[in-house]
Structure 1
Amino acid sequence: MARTAREAVDEAVRALAPRAEDNRLVARIAAGRAPLAAVAALALEQHHVVPADRRSFAHLALRATPLGEPAVVAFFDHLVRGEDAAYARLAPLARACGLDETALRAHEPRAGCQAYPAYVAWLALNAEPVDAALALTANFAAWGGYCATVSLALREHYGFEDEACGFFDLFGTPDPEAAERALAAVGTGLVDDHLSEGRAHRYGRLLQEYEALFWHTLEEAARPAR
C-alpha cells in the first residue's frame, strides 16, 4: 500500500518530538519563574531570526518552482507570509519587555540563538525543497506548542496584554491552511519521488537540536551575572 502524506507527516512529528527536558526555559516561563529578561532576549533575537527565515523560505519557494512542484512552492510562500505577520507582531512584544528602538538596534545577536536560522539558510541552499518542507513541518509542531504555552503564561504570570502576546498567539494557534499546504507538499514529494524521509528526518532532528540550543542560550543570557 502506498504511503500517504498524512502518514509521513504524522510519523515525522512523532519521531522528532522534543523531550520535556529539552526546553527548561519554557517550563520556567509556564510556572512564572523565568525572569522577564529571558522574554526580552527572545524578542531581541527574533528581530534577527524572522527576517532570515523569511528569506530562506522565499529561496526554497524559488528553488521549487522549476521542479514543477507548485504545492511545495505554495507551502513556502505561505511560510513567507507567516514571517511577515510575525515580524509585525514583534514591536508590541518588545515594548512590553521594556525594549525601545535603541535597544533593538544596539543588540548583538547570540550565536546560540542564530544557529537555527543559519541552518534554515543551509537547508535553503542545499536541501531538496520537499525534504525541507517535511522537516520544518515537524519542527513547527514543537515550536507551536512552545508558543502556546508562553502566550498563556505571559498573560497569567507577567501581566502582558493581548497585543503583546500576538507573536506567540500567531505561532501557537493552529493554522489549518499551513497544515493543508504541508500535506499537499509532502504528497507531491511522494508522488514524484523527490521526498527522502530519511533525509527529512535528519534535517528535522538538527532543526530540533538547534531550537533547543536557541532556548538554552536565552536561559543562559537571562541568568544574573555572578
Structure 2
Amino acid sequence: MTRTARDLLRTITAELAPDPRSNPLVPRIAAGEADREVLALLALEQARVIPADRRAFLQLAVRSTAEPEADAYFTALAEGEALAQQRLPAFAAACGVDEDRAAAYLPLPGCQAYPAYVAWLALNAPPADAVLAVTANFSAWGGYCATIAAALRTHHGFDDEACAFFDFFAEPAEHLDRAAERAVQAALDAGRLDERRARAYGHLLQSYEALFWRTLERPA
C-alpha cells in the first residue's frame, strides 16, 4: 500500500516525541516552582530565537521555488513567527525585562543552538526533508506553550496580553498541518523525500530543543 504524507507525518512525529525527562523546566513552570528570573531568561532567549527562525524559514521558502507546496509551508511559518514576535514584548515586560536589560543581555549558547541548527537547515537541507523534521518538532513545542500559558495565569497572575505569545503557539494550527501534508505528499509523489535524512534532522531539532530547556533550568 502506498504510504501517504499524513501517515508519514504521524509516524515520525510519534517517533520523535521527546522523553518527558528531557525537559525538566516546563514541569517546574507548571507546578509554580520556576521564579520570574527563569521566566525572564525565557523571554530574553526567545527574543533571539523567533526572529532567527523567521529568517531561516524565509530562506527555506526561497530555496523552495521549484516546490510550491514547500514554499507555501515555510512562508506560512515565517508569517507565524512574525506574529509571535509581536506578542513577545508583553511577556518580557511582565517578567520585568526592560529595554536596557534586553539590549545588554548575553544569550546562552545552549539556548541558541536550536536556532543555529534551524539556520543550518535553511542553508543545507532539502526543503521537503526540512518540512518533515520541523513539523514533527513543532508538535512538542505547542504542548509546552499550552502548559506554560496555563501556569503563567495560575501561578503568576499574568493577564491575557502577557500570555499571548504562548497562547499563539498553543492554538491548533490546522492550516499549517494541511500545508505540511501537501508539501510532504508532493515530495513523496516526486520521489524527492529522504525519510532517513528527515528523521536525522528531526532528531537533532528535538535534541537541541531539549538542550534549550535544560540550559534555562541551569543557566550558570
TM-score by length of 2: 0.98
CA drift of 1:25 comes to 0.3
Q: Write out per-residue CA displacement over residues 123-177 of structure 1, whole angstroms, 9 at most, x where no aligned residue.
A: 0111000100100000000000100100111101111100001110111111111
Matches within 5 A, 1:29-108: 29-65=29-65, 68-108=66-106
CA distance in 2, matches of 1:195, 1:38: 40
CA distance in 2, matches of 1:38, 1:96: 12
CA drift of 1:90 comes to 0.8
Matches within 5 A, 1:109-120: 109-120=107-118
Equivalent AA in structure 1 for residue 152 of structure 2: L
Q: Write out per-residue CA displacement over residues 42-96 of structure 1, whole angstroms, 9 at most, x where no aligned residue.
A: 100111111111111000000010xx21110000000010110011011100110
**Aligned residues: percent identity?**
55
Work out which of the residue numbers 206, 209, 212 in structure 2 matches 1:211.
209
Q: Which residue of 1 aligns with 2:12?
A: 12
Q: RMSD between aligned alpha carbons? A: 0.8
CA distance in 1, matches of 2:107, 2:186: 37
Moved over 6 A (4+): none
Q: Which residue of 1 aligns with 2:130?
A: 132
Partner SS state of residue 18, structure 2: coil
How many residue pairs get matched?
A: 220
Equivalent AA in structure 2 for residue 20 of structure 1: P
TM-score by length of 1: 0.96
- In the alignment, structure 2 segments of 5+ residues that lack a partner are none
Partner SS state of residue 89, structure 1: helix
